[in-house]
Amino acid sequence: MKKITIILALVLMPLATISLYAFFTGFGSAGAVKQTVDEAVKQGKISEAGLEPSQASEENPPVEPGKPAVANGYGFCAISWNPVTGADSYKLFYSTFSGLAKANGRSISGVTSPYMLAGLTNGVTYYFGVVAVNTSGDSALSPVSTGVPTAMAAPAPPTGVAFTAGDGQALIRWSNSTGATSYNLYWSNSPISTTTTATKITNVTSTYTLTGLSNSSLYYTAVTAVNTYGESALSADVSGTPVGAIVGETWYRAYNGGWGPTINGSGGLAALCKNIVVYNNKVYLIAGSDGGTSANNYATMGQSCVWSSSSCFSWSMETSTAAFGGRYANASVVFNSKIWTTGGRTLGSDPTSRKNDVYSSVNGSSWMLVKADDSNGYQKRSHHGAVVFNNYIYVLGGIGTDSCARNDVWRSSDGVTWTQIRSSSTPGGFNPRAGFGCVVYNSGSGEKIWVIAGSSGSTLNYNDVWNSSDGVTWAQVVSNPSFSKRSQPGVVVHNSKLWLIGGATNDYYTFYNDAWNSTDGITWTRVTSGADFSERAGHGCISFNNKIWILGGEDYNYTDLDSKLKDTWYTP
Protein backbone atom coordinates (compact mmCIF):
# COMPACT_ATOMS: atom_id res chain seq x y z
CA MET A 1 0.00 0.00 0.00
CA LYS A 2 2.85 2.42 0.86
CA LYS A 3 4.44 1.67 -2.48
CA ILE A 4 1.26 2.61 -4.33
CA THR A 5 0.89 5.80 -2.28
CA ILE A 6 4.45 6.89 -3.09
CA ILE A 7 3.92 6.25 -6.77
CA LEU A 8 0.78 8.40 -6.70
CA ALA A 9 2.66 11.14 -4.92
CA LEU A 10 5.54 11.03 -7.38
CA VAL A 11 3.17 11.32 -10.29
CA LEU A 12 2.21 14.71 -8.94
CA MET A 13 5.85 15.90 -8.99
CA PRO A 14 7.55 17.76 -11.84
CA LEU A 15 9.33 15.66 -14.45
CA ALA A 16 12.74 16.98 -13.38
CA THR A 17 12.22 15.58 -9.89
CA ILE A 18 11.18 12.15 -11.09
CA SER A 19 14.25 11.92 -13.34
CA LEU A 20 16.55 11.86 -10.31
CA TYR A 21 15.59 8.31 -9.57
CA ALA A 22 13.87 7.10 -12.76
CA PHE A 23 16.66 4.59 -13.39
CA PHE A 24 16.05 2.80 -10.11
CA THR A 25 14.07 -0.40 -10.28
CA GLY A 26 11.75 -1.04 -7.36
CA PHE A 27 12.20 2.67 -6.61
CA GLY A 28 16.00 2.37 -6.33
CA SER A 29 17.65 2.94 -2.98
CA ALA A 30 15.57 3.92 0.04
CA GLY A 31 17.74 6.98 0.62
CA ALA A 32 17.14 8.40 -2.83
CA VAL A 33 13.42 7.94 -2.53
CA LYS A 34 13.35 9.53 0.93
CA GLN A 35 15.32 12.50 -0.35
CA THR A 36 12.82 13.11 -3.11
CA VAL A 37 9.76 12.63 -0.89
CA ASP A 38 11.15 14.95 1.81
CA GLU A 39 11.71 17.63 -0.80
CA ALA A 40 8.10 17.27 -2.02
CA VAL A 41 6.77 17.56 1.53
CA LYS A 42 8.88 20.66 2.06
CA GLN A 43 7.37 22.21 -1.08
CA GLY A 44 3.82 21.44 0.13
CA LYS A 45 3.06 19.09 -2.76
CA ILE A 46 2.36 16.15 -0.50
CA SER A 47 1.67 15.75 3.22
CA GLU A 48 3.52 13.57 5.68
CA ALA A 49 0.28 12.00 6.97
CA GLY A 50 -0.11 9.06 4.60
CA LEU A 51 1.90 10.97 1.96
CA GLU A 52 -1.38 12.14 0.44
CA PRO A 53 -1.76 15.31 -1.60
CA SER A 54 -2.22 18.38 0.64
CA GLN A 55 -5.61 20.10 0.62
CA ALA A 56 -5.99 23.82 -0.07
CA SER A 57 -7.84 25.92 2.57
CA GLU A 58 -11.59 26.11 2.06
CA GLU A 59 -11.54 29.86 2.93
CA ASN A 60 -10.23 32.40 0.46
CA PRO A 61 -8.86 35.84 1.19
CA PRO A 62 -11.59 38.50 1.01
CA VAL A 63 -12.20 40.59 -2.06
CA GLU A 64 -10.73 44.05 -2.20
CA PRO A 65 -12.77 46.88 -0.61
CA GLY A 66 -14.35 49.54 -2.75
CA LYS A 67 -12.74 52.92 -3.20
CA PRO A 68 -12.60 54.64 0.20
CA ALA A 69 -14.06 58.08 0.90
CA VAL A 70 -11.75 60.74 2.35
CA ALA A 71 -12.77 63.76 4.42
CA ASN A 72 -10.10 66.40 4.96
CA GLY A 73 -9.46 68.12 8.25
CA TYR A 74 -6.90 70.30 9.93
CA GLY A 75 -3.84 68.04 10.05
CA PHE A 76 -5.83 64.89 9.47
CA CYS A 77 -7.78 62.87 6.94
CA ALA A 78 -10.72 60.65 7.86
CA ILE A 79 -10.96 57.56 5.66
CA SER A 80 -14.12 55.46 5.45
CA TRP A 81 -15.13 52.44 3.41
CA ASN A 82 -17.90 49.89 3.06
CA PRO A 83 -17.47 46.57 4.89
CA VAL A 84 -16.35 43.50 2.93
CA THR A 85 -18.01 40.13 3.39
CA GLY A 86 -15.68 37.65 5.08
CA ALA A 87 -13.22 40.28 6.31
CA ASP A 88 -12.03 39.99 9.92
CA SER A 89 -10.09 43.26 9.93
CA TYR A 90 -8.64 45.92 7.65
CA LYS A 91 -5.28 47.52 6.87
CA LEU A 92 -4.84 51.10 5.74
CA PHE A 93 -2.06 51.87 3.25
CA TYR A 94 -1.03 55.43 2.51
CA SER A 95 1.74 57.47 0.94
CA THR A 96 2.56 60.96 -0.27
CA PHE A 97 3.29 59.80 -3.83
CA SER A 98 1.14 58.41 -6.60
CA GLY A 99 1.28 54.76 -7.53
CA LEU A 100 0.47 53.57 -4.01
CA ALA A 101 0.80 49.79 -3.64
CA LYS A 102 1.04 47.36 -0.78
CA ALA A 103 4.74 47.04 -1.49
CA ASN A 104 5.59 50.75 -1.24
CA GLY A 105 3.04 52.33 1.15
CA ARG A 106 3.00 52.70 4.89
CA SER A 107 0.44 50.48 6.56
CA ILE A 108 -1.64 50.46 9.72
CA SER A 109 -3.28 47.18 10.75
CA GLY A 110 -6.55 46.67 12.64
CA VAL A 111 -8.21 49.89 11.49
CA THR A 112 -11.99 50.37 11.43
CA SER A 113 -14.15 52.64 9.29
CA PRO A 114 -14.17 55.58 9.66
CA TYR A 115 -10.48 55.91 10.58
CA MET A 116 -8.96 59.28 11.39
CA LEU A 117 -5.29 59.52 10.40
CA ALA A 118 -3.84 62.46 12.29
CA GLY A 119 -0.43 64.13 12.28
CA LEU A 120 -0.53 64.87 8.56
CA THR A 121 0.90 67.96 6.89
CA ASN A 122 -1.62 70.51 5.69
CA GLY A 123 -1.55 71.14 1.95
CA VAL A 124 0.16 67.83 1.09
CA THR A 125 -1.63 65.28 -1.08
CA TYR A 126 -1.96 61.84 0.50
CA TYR A 127 -2.93 58.61 -1.23
CA PHE A 128 -5.02 56.02 0.59
CA GLY A 129 -5.99 52.42 -0.04
CA VAL A 130 -7.58 49.73 2.09
CA VAL A 131 -6.95 45.98 2.31
CA ALA A 132 -9.41 43.47 3.79
CA VAL A 133 -7.93 40.68 5.93
CA ASN A 134 -8.99 37.25 7.15
CA THR A 135 -7.24 34.06 8.26
CA SER A 136 -6.53 33.08 4.65
CA GLY A 137 -4.69 36.26 3.87
CA ASP A 138 -5.03 39.78 2.55
CA SER A 139 -7.13 41.08 -0.29
CA ALA A 140 -5.80 43.17 -3.11
CA LEU A 141 -5.49 46.89 -2.43
CA SER A 142 -8.65 48.88 -2.98
CA PRO A 143 -8.77 51.60 -5.59
CA VAL A 144 -6.77 54.56 -4.32
CA SER A 145 -8.29 57.81 -3.06
CA THR A 146 -6.57 61.08 -2.28
CA GLY A 147 -6.93 63.63 0.47
CA VAL A 148 -5.33 66.98 1.29
CA PRO A 149 -5.33 68.10 4.94
CA THR A 150 -5.97 71.80 5.13
CA ALA A 151 -6.17 74.55 7.70
CA MET A 152 -9.37 75.74 6.02
CA ALA A 153 -11.23 72.56 6.75
CA ALA A 154 -14.45 70.93 7.76
CA PRO A 155 -14.84 70.39 11.51
CA ALA A 156 -13.77 67.27 13.30
CA PRO A 157 -16.47 64.61 13.72
CA PRO A 158 -18.73 65.01 16.77
CA THR A 159 -17.90 62.92 19.80
CA GLY A 160 -19.90 61.47 22.65
CA VAL A 161 -22.83 60.44 20.46
CA ALA A 162 -25.53 58.73 22.56
CA PHE A 163 -28.76 56.91 21.59
CA THR A 164 -31.64 56.88 24.10
CA ALA A 165 -34.50 54.66 22.93
CA GLY A 166 -38.11 55.71 23.41
CA ASP A 167 -41.53 54.63 22.23
CA GLY A 168 -41.25 54.69 18.43
CA GLN A 169 -38.48 57.24 18.67
CA ALA A 170 -34.94 57.87 19.90
CA LEU A 171 -33.21 60.84 21.51
CA ILE A 172 -29.78 61.47 19.94
CA ARG A 173 -27.21 63.57 21.81
CA TRP A 174 -23.59 64.48 21.04
CA SER A 175 -20.82 66.87 22.00
CA ASN A 176 -20.46 69.76 19.60
CA SER A 177 -17.40 70.14 17.33
CA THR A 178 -15.33 73.30 17.32
CA GLY A 179 -16.07 75.42 14.26
CA ALA A 180 -19.24 73.58 13.28
CA THR A 181 -22.20 75.65 12.15
CA SER A 182 -24.65 72.76 11.77
CA TYR A 183 -24.92 69.00 12.01
CA ASN A 184 -26.26 66.17 9.88
CA LEU A 185 -27.74 63.00 11.33
CA TYR A 186 -27.49 59.65 9.54
CA TRP A 187 -29.58 56.64 10.50
CA SER A 188 -29.92 53.09 9.26
CA ASN A 189 -30.97 49.60 10.31
CA SER A 190 -27.39 48.40 9.83
CA PRO A 191 -24.00 49.70 10.96
CA ILE A 192 -23.08 52.98 9.29
CA SER A 193 -19.66 53.03 7.63
CA THR A 194 -20.17 55.76 5.00
CA THR A 195 -22.65 58.56 4.46
CA THR A 196 -23.96 56.83 1.34
CA THR A 197 -25.33 53.85 3.27
CA ALA A 198 -27.72 55.72 5.58
CA THR A 199 -30.65 58.12 5.53
CA LYS A 200 -29.56 61.75 6.01
CA ILE A 201 -31.31 64.43 8.06
CA THR A 202 -29.77 67.89 7.71
CA ASN A 203 -29.50 70.83 10.10
CA VAL A 204 -30.15 68.97 13.33
CA THR A 205 -29.07 69.98 16.81
CA SER A 206 -27.93 67.91 19.74
CA THR A 207 -30.73 66.30 21.75
CA TYR A 208 -32.52 65.56 18.51
CA THR A 209 -35.64 63.36 18.59
CA LEU A 210 -35.64 60.84 15.75
CA THR A 211 -39.27 59.86 15.26
CA GLY A 212 -41.22 57.39 13.13
CA LEU A 213 -39.20 54.38 14.27
CA SER A 214 -40.56 50.86 14.70
CA ASN A 215 -40.51 49.42 18.18
CA SER A 216 -38.34 46.29 18.63
CA SER A 217 -36.23 47.17 15.54
CA LEU A 218 -32.52 47.94 15.83
CA TYR A 219 -31.36 51.34 14.59
CA TYR A 220 -27.91 52.87 14.09
CA THR A 221 -27.16 56.58 14.05
CA ALA A 222 -24.08 58.68 13.35
CA VAL A 223 -23.53 62.43 13.17
CA THR A 224 -21.38 64.76 11.07
CA ALA A 225 -20.37 68.35 11.71
CA VAL A 226 -20.67 70.96 8.96
CA ASN A 227 -19.24 74.39 8.24
CA THR A 228 -18.54 76.48 5.13
CA TYR A 229 -15.54 74.30 4.25
CA GLY A 230 -17.42 71.06 4.20
CA GLU A 231 -18.77 68.14 6.17
CA SER A 232 -16.75 66.17 8.68
CA ALA A 233 -16.28 62.45 8.65
CA LEU A 234 -18.88 60.36 10.40
CA SER A 235 -18.83 60.07 14.14
CA ALA A 236 -18.70 56.61 15.61
CA ASP A 237 -22.14 55.09 15.13
CA VAL A 238 -24.34 54.17 18.08
CA SER A 239 -27.37 51.93 18.17
CA GLY A 240 -30.52 51.19 20.13
CA THR A 241 -33.92 49.55 19.93
CA PRO A 242 -37.11 51.60 20.49
CA VAL A 243 -39.63 49.93 22.77
CA GLY A 244 -43.28 50.57 23.46
CA ALA A 245 -43.75 52.66 26.56
CA ILE A 246 -45.02 50.79 29.61
CA VAL A 247 -48.05 52.49 31.11
CA GLY A 248 -47.12 54.01 34.45
CA GLU A 249 -43.38 53.54 33.93
CA THR A 250 -42.65 56.15 31.27
CA TRP A 251 -43.96 59.68 31.86
CA TYR A 252 -43.83 62.76 29.63
CA ARG A 253 -44.17 66.39 30.62
CA ALA A 254 -47.12 68.02 28.86
CA TYR A 255 -47.34 71.42 30.57
CA ASN A 256 -45.12 73.39 32.93
CA GLY A 257 -46.98 76.60 33.67
CA GLY A 258 -49.38 77.91 36.25
CA TRP A 259 -53.11 77.71 35.77
CA GLY A 260 -53.67 81.43 36.22
CA PRO A 261 -53.65 84.18 38.87
CA THR A 262 -53.37 83.50 42.57
CA ILE A 263 -54.05 85.49 45.68
CA ASN A 264 -50.41 85.69 46.70
CA GLY A 265 -49.00 85.78 43.16
CA SER A 266 -47.20 82.43 43.35
CA GLY A 267 -48.00 81.68 39.69
CA GLY A 268 -50.91 79.27 39.61
CA LEU A 269 -53.24 77.19 41.72
CA ALA A 270 -51.54 73.90 42.40
CA ALA A 271 -51.80 72.24 45.77
CA LEU A 272 -54.79 70.04 46.45
CA CYS A 273 -56.02 70.36 42.86
CA LYS A 274 -57.67 66.96 43.08
CA ASN A 275 -60.91 68.38 41.72
CA ILE A 276 -60.47 67.28 38.15
CA VAL A 277 -63.26 65.82 36.02
CA VAL A 278 -63.75 64.87 32.38
CA TYR A 279 -66.84 66.49 30.89
CA ASN A 280 -67.88 66.88 27.22
CA ASN A 281 -64.44 65.69 26.02
CA LYS A 282 -62.60 68.25 28.12
CA VAL A 283 -60.71 68.14 31.39
CA TYR A 284 -61.91 70.64 34.01
CA LEU A 285 -59.83 71.73 36.98
CA ILE A 286 -62.09 73.19 39.67
CA ALA A 287 -60.77 75.41 42.47
CA GLY A 288 -57.70 74.46 44.55
CA SER A 289 -55.29 76.24 46.88
CA ASP A 290 -52.82 79.03 46.27
CA GLY A 291 -50.19 77.45 48.48
CA GLY A 292 -50.12 79.97 51.32
CA THR A 293 -46.82 81.65 52.11
CA SER A 294 -43.39 80.45 53.08
CA ALA A 295 -43.91 81.90 56.52
CA ASN A 296 -47.26 80.31 57.24
CA ASN A 297 -48.71 77.55 55.12
CA TYR A 298 -51.91 77.66 57.19
CA ALA A 299 -52.65 81.00 55.56
CA THR A 300 -53.56 78.95 52.48
CA MET A 301 -56.57 80.44 50.76
CA GLY A 302 -58.86 78.71 48.32
CA GLN A 303 -59.26 79.66 44.68
CA SER A 304 -62.41 80.32 42.66
CA CYS A 305 -60.84 79.60 39.26
CA VAL A 306 -62.01 76.98 36.76
CA TRP A 307 -59.72 75.90 33.94
CA SER A 308 -60.36 73.57 31.01
CA SER A 309 -58.39 71.80 28.31
CA SER A 310 -59.20 69.50 25.42
CA SER A 311 -55.66 68.13 25.39
CA CYS A 312 -54.02 68.84 28.78
CA PHE A 313 -51.18 70.48 26.84
CA SER A 314 -52.69 73.96 26.92
CA TRP A 315 -55.31 75.42 29.26
CA SER A 316 -58.03 78.06 29.09
CA MET A 317 -59.59 79.86 32.04
CA GLU A 318 -63.36 79.38 32.12
CA THR A 319 -63.74 81.81 35.02
CA SER A 320 -61.61 83.37 37.73
CA THR A 321 -64.58 84.21 39.94
CA ALA A 322 -66.83 81.17 40.02
CA ALA A 323 -70.01 81.57 42.09
CA PHE A 324 -68.87 78.96 44.60
CA GLY A 325 -66.09 81.32 45.78
CA GLY A 326 -62.54 80.52 46.81
CA ARG A 327 -62.03 77.01 48.21
CA TYR A 328 -59.83 73.94 48.14
CA ALA A 329 -60.12 70.30 49.22
CA ASN A 330 -63.63 70.23 47.77
CA ALA A 331 -64.93 67.23 45.79
CA SER A 332 -66.20 67.28 42.19
CA VAL A 333 -68.07 64.79 39.99
CA VAL A 334 -70.00 64.64 36.71
CA PHE A 335 -73.65 63.74 37.25
CA ASN A 336 -76.79 64.15 35.14
CA SER A 337 -74.90 65.95 32.36
CA LYS A 338 -73.47 68.58 34.70
CA ILE A 339 -70.31 69.28 36.66
CA TRP A 340 -70.89 69.27 40.43
CA THR A 341 -68.66 70.47 43.23
CA THR A 342 -69.35 70.32 46.94
CA GLY A 343 -67.75 71.01 50.31
CA GLY A 344 -64.14 72.01 50.92
CA ARG A 345 -62.69 74.87 52.93
CA THR A 346 -61.79 78.48 52.24
CA LEU A 347 -58.95 79.20 54.67
CA GLY A 348 -56.24 76.87 55.97
CA SER A 349 -56.05 78.64 59.33
CA ASP A 350 -59.77 78.32 60.08
CA PRO A 351 -61.25 74.81 60.48
CA THR A 352 -64.75 76.31 60.67
CA SER A 353 -64.37 77.51 57.08
CA ARG A 354 -65.34 74.02 55.90
CA LYS A 355 -68.54 73.84 53.86
CA ASN A 356 -71.36 71.56 52.69
CA ASP A 357 -72.81 73.67 49.88
CA VAL A 358 -73.40 72.23 46.40
CA TYR A 359 -72.93 73.91 43.00
CA SER A 360 -73.45 72.68 39.45
CA SER A 361 -72.52 73.90 35.96
CA VAL A 362 -73.27 72.93 32.37
CA ASN A 363 -70.23 74.71 30.92
CA GLY A 364 -67.64 75.23 33.67
CA SER A 365 -67.96 79.01 33.58
CA SER A 366 -71.45 79.65 34.98
CA TRP A 367 -72.25 77.97 38.29
CA MET A 368 -75.62 77.57 39.98
CA LEU A 369 -76.12 77.19 43.72
CA VAL A 370 -77.97 73.89 44.32
CA LYS A 371 -77.76 73.74 48.12
CA ALA A 372 -76.59 76.47 50.48
CA ASP A 373 -73.86 76.12 53.06
CA ASP A 374 -76.05 75.50 56.09
CA SER A 375 -77.03 72.99 58.76
CA ASN A 376 -78.96 70.85 56.29
CA GLY A 377 -77.46 67.97 54.33
CA TYR A 378 -74.24 66.24 55.24
CA GLN A 379 -72.00 67.70 57.92
CA LYS A 380 -69.55 70.31 56.66
CA ARG A 381 -66.17 68.89 55.66
CA SER A 382 -63.08 68.99 53.45
CA HIS A 383 -60.64 66.40 52.05
CA HIS A 384 -63.57 64.01 51.52
CA GLY A 385 -64.35 61.62 48.72
CA ALA A 386 -67.19 61.91 46.20
CA VAL A 387 -68.31 59.47 43.49
CA VAL A 388 -71.33 58.84 41.29
CA PHE A 389 -72.76 55.37 41.91
CA ASN A 390 -76.14 53.82 41.09
CA ASN A 391 -77.63 57.19 40.09
CA TYR A 392 -76.60 58.96 43.30
CA ILE A 393 -73.84 61.34 44.31
CA TYR A 394 -72.03 59.83 47.29
CA VAL A 395 -69.98 61.81 49.81
CA LEU A 396 -67.66 59.82 52.10
CA GLY A 397 -65.34 60.59 55.01
CA GLY A 398 -63.20 63.72 55.21
CA ILE A 399 -62.44 66.16 58.03
CA GLY A 400 -65.23 68.08 59.82
CA THR A 401 -65.31 71.49 61.41
CA ASP A 402 -64.10 69.84 64.63
CA SER A 403 -60.89 68.90 62.77
CA CYS A 404 -61.69 65.20 63.25
CA ALA A 405 -61.71 62.64 60.46
CA ARG A 406 -64.99 60.92 59.60
CA ASN A 407 -66.11 57.66 57.97
CA ASP A 408 -69.79 58.38 57.44
CA VAL A 409 -71.48 58.03 54.04
CA TRP A 410 -74.15 60.28 52.50
CA ARG A 411 -75.93 60.26 49.17
CA SER A 412 -78.23 62.43 47.07
CA SER A 413 -80.12 62.06 43.79
CA ASP A 414 -80.43 65.78 43.18
CA GLY A 415 -77.73 67.54 45.23
CA VAL A 416 -80.40 69.17 47.39
CA THR A 417 -81.61 66.43 49.69
CA TRP A 418 -78.97 64.29 51.36
CA THR A 419 -79.50 60.99 53.20
CA GLN A 420 -77.03 59.55 55.65
CA ILE A 421 -76.76 55.83 54.90
CA ARG A 422 -73.88 55.14 57.27
CA SER A 423 -72.86 57.08 60.38
CA SER A 424 -69.40 57.40 61.89
CA SER A 425 -70.65 55.44 64.93
CA THR A 426 -71.67 52.42 62.82
CA PRO A 427 -69.44 49.43 63.70
CA GLY A 428 -67.17 48.04 61.01
CA GLY A 429 -66.11 49.70 57.81
CA PHE A 430 -63.04 51.74 57.05
CA ASN A 431 -61.43 53.86 59.77
CA PRO A 432 -62.27 57.58 59.84
CA ARG A 433 -59.98 59.18 57.30
CA ALA A 434 -59.29 62.01 54.88
CA GLY A 435 -57.13 62.47 51.80
CA PHE A 436 -57.96 58.99 50.51
CA GLY A 437 -58.51 57.63 47.02
CA CYS A 438 -62.17 57.13 46.14
CA VAL A 439 -63.33 55.56 42.84
CA VAL A 440 -65.94 53.25 41.36
CA TYR A 441 -64.44 50.05 39.95
CA ASN A 442 -65.46 46.56 38.87
CA SER A 443 -62.90 43.95 39.87
CA GLY A 444 -65.02 41.11 38.49
CA SER A 445 -67.95 40.97 40.90
CA GLY A 446 -69.80 44.12 39.84
CA GLU A 447 -69.16 47.81 40.32
CA LYS A 448 -68.34 48.95 43.85
CA ILE A 449 -67.19 52.04 45.67
CA TRP A 450 -63.52 51.76 46.66
CA VAL A 451 -61.66 53.58 49.44
CA ILE A 452 -57.86 53.38 49.27
CA ALA A 453 -55.18 54.67 51.67
CA GLY A 454 -55.53 58.11 53.36
CA SER A 455 -54.83 59.41 56.85
CA SER A 456 -56.56 59.93 60.19
CA GLY A 457 -56.16 63.67 59.70
CA SER A 458 -53.40 63.88 62.29
CA THR A 459 -50.63 61.31 62.70
CA LEU A 460 -51.87 58.01 61.26
CA ASN A 461 -51.44 56.98 57.64
CA TYR A 462 -53.25 54.09 55.97
CA ASN A 463 -52.62 51.80 53.03
CA ASP A 464 -55.59 49.47 53.46
CA VAL A 465 -58.19 48.94 50.72
CA TRP A 466 -61.98 48.74 51.22
CA ASN A 467 -65.00 48.40 48.96
CA SER A 468 -68.78 48.40 49.17
CA SER A 469 -71.64 47.54 46.83
CA ASP A 470 -74.10 49.90 48.58
CA GLY A 471 -72.09 52.39 50.67
CA VAL A 472 -73.47 50.86 53.86
CA THR A 473 -71.64 47.56 54.29
CA TRP A 474 -67.90 47.68 53.75
CA ALA A 475 -65.40 44.85 53.24
CA GLN A 476 -61.69 45.16 53.80
CA VAL A 477 -60.10 43.88 50.59
CA VAL A 478 -56.55 43.94 51.94
CA SER A 479 -55.14 45.31 55.20
CA ASN A 480 -51.50 45.84 54.24
CA PRO A 481 -50.79 45.77 50.49
CA SER A 482 -47.37 46.19 48.92
CA PHE A 483 -47.42 49.98 48.71
CA SER A 484 -46.52 52.01 51.79
CA LYS A 485 -48.97 53.96 53.95
CA ARG A 486 -49.75 57.39 52.59
CA SER A 487 -52.19 60.28 52.31
CA GLN A 488 -53.46 62.17 49.26
CA PRO A 489 -52.28 59.77 46.55
CA GLY A 490 -53.63 59.92 43.03
CA VAL A 491 -56.11 57.07 42.51
CA VAL A 492 -57.71 56.39 39.14
CA VAL A 493 -59.26 53.60 37.08
CA HIS A 494 -57.44 53.13 33.76
CA ASN A 495 -57.38 50.22 31.30
CA SER A 496 -59.52 48.09 33.64
CA LYS A 497 -57.07 48.47 36.52
CA LEU A 498 -56.89 50.39 39.77
CA TRP A 499 -53.92 52.76 39.83
CA LEU A 500 -52.30 54.44 42.86
CA ILE A 501 -49.70 57.12 42.12
CA GLY A 502 -47.62 59.21 44.51
CA GLY A 503 -48.82 60.64 47.84
CA ALA A 504 -47.11 61.50 51.11
CA THR A 505 -47.03 60.64 54.78
CA ASN A 506 -49.38 62.77 56.82
CA ASP A 507 -46.53 64.73 58.39
CA TYR A 508 -45.46 65.75 54.86
CA TYR A 509 -41.87 64.71 55.42
CA THR A 510 -41.92 61.80 52.96
CA PHE A 511 -43.27 62.16 49.44
CA TYR A 512 -43.60 59.54 46.72
CA ASN A 513 -43.56 59.40 42.92
CA ASP A 514 -44.09 55.66 42.57
CA ALA A 515 -46.90 54.04 40.55
CA TRP A 516 -48.83 50.85 41.38
CA ASN A 517 -51.71 48.98 39.79
CA SER A 518 -54.05 46.12 40.60
CA THR A 519 -56.85 44.23 38.92
CA ASP A 520 -58.45 42.97 42.14
CA GLY A 521 -57.38 45.50 44.81
CA ILE A 522 -55.56 42.73 46.68
CA THR A 523 -52.37 42.18 44.75
CA TRP A 524 -50.59 45.38 43.76
CA THR A 525 -47.77 45.59 41.20
CA ARG A 526 -45.23 48.36 41.41
CA VAL A 527 -44.75 49.68 37.89
CA THR A 528 -42.10 52.20 38.89
CA SER A 529 -40.49 53.28 42.15
CA GLY A 530 -39.55 56.68 40.75
CA ALA A 531 -41.52 58.22 37.91
CA ASP A 532 -40.17 61.02 35.72
CA PHE A 533 -42.25 63.60 37.60
CA SER A 534 -41.12 64.74 41.05
CA GLU A 535 -42.47 63.35 44.34
CA ARG A 536 -45.82 64.88 45.23
CA ALA A 537 -49.18 64.61 47.00
CA GLY A 538 -52.56 66.28 46.59
CA HIS A 539 -52.22 66.12 42.82
CA GLY A 540 -54.96 65.56 40.31
CA CYS A 541 -55.09 62.17 38.63
CA ILE A 542 -57.41 61.29 35.73
CA SER A 543 -57.79 58.92 32.80
CA PHE A 544 -58.28 60.92 29.59
CA ASN A 545 -57.63 60.25 25.90
CA ASN A 546 -56.27 56.78 26.67
CA LYS A 547 -53.64 58.18 29.02
CA ILE A 548 -53.19 58.72 32.76
CA TRP A 549 -52.59 62.37 33.61
CA ILE A 550 -50.96 63.90 36.70
CA LEU A 551 -51.65 67.57 37.42
CA GLY A 552 -50.06 69.83 40.04
CA GLY A 553 -49.84 68.88 43.70
CA GLU A 554 -47.37 69.83 46.40
CA ASP A 555 -43.99 68.57 47.53
CA TYR A 556 -43.10 70.79 50.48
CA ASN A 557 -41.85 69.91 53.95
CA TYR A 558 -41.70 72.04 57.05
CA THR A 559 -38.56 73.82 55.87
CA ASP A 560 -40.06 74.83 52.53
CA LEU A 561 -43.78 75.37 52.84
CA ASP A 562 -44.36 77.16 49.57
CA SER A 563 -43.23 74.52 47.10
CA LYS A 564 -46.38 74.01 45.04
CA LEU A 565 -46.39 72.31 41.67
CA LYS A 566 -47.98 73.59 38.48
CA ASP A 567 -46.90 70.98 35.93
CA THR A 568 -48.79 68.31 33.99
CA TRP A 569 -47.52 64.82 33.09
CA TYR A 570 -48.93 61.82 31.27
CA THR A 571 -48.13 58.17 30.65
CA PRO A 572 -49.23 56.52 27.39
pLDDT tens column, 195-237 = 998 999 999 999 899 999 999 999 999 999 999 888 999 999 9
Q: Are 286 and 277 in contact (CB under 8 A)?
A: yes
The pLDDT confidence band at residue 556, using thresholds 50, 70 and 90, is: low
The domain 69-147 having CATH identifier 2.60.40.10: the answer here is yes
Closest CA to 568 of 528, 527, 534: 534
pLDDT mean over 541-548: 94
Q: CATH 2.120.10.80 spans which residues of the chain? A: 252-571
What CATH class is the domain 252-571?
A: mainly beta
CA distance 343 to 355: 5
Domain boundaries for CATH 2.60.40.10 within the chain: 69-147, 159-240
Residue 315 burial (CB < 10 Å; 0-12/13-18/19+)? buried
Residues paired with 536 in a beta bridge? 512
d(CA 527, CA 514): 8
On the question of pLDDT at 552 being above 50, the answer is yes
pLDDT at 49 > cutoff 90: no
Q: Where does 133-264 have alpha helices with state H?
A: none
Tens-place pLDDT, residues 227-286: 988 899 999 999 999 987 788 888 888 865 554 433 333 334 344 556 899 999 999 999
Q: What's the DSSP call for residue 469? A: S
The number of angstroms, rounded, from the C-alpha of 470 to the middle of its chain's C-alpha atoms is 41
pTM of the model: 0.61
Say how far residue 360 (Cα) sits from the centre of its chain: 40
| Residue 427 near residue 407, CB atoms below 8 Å | no
User: What is the pLDDT confidence band of residue 348, given thresholds at 50, 70 and 90?
Assistant: low
Class of domain 159-240: mainly beta
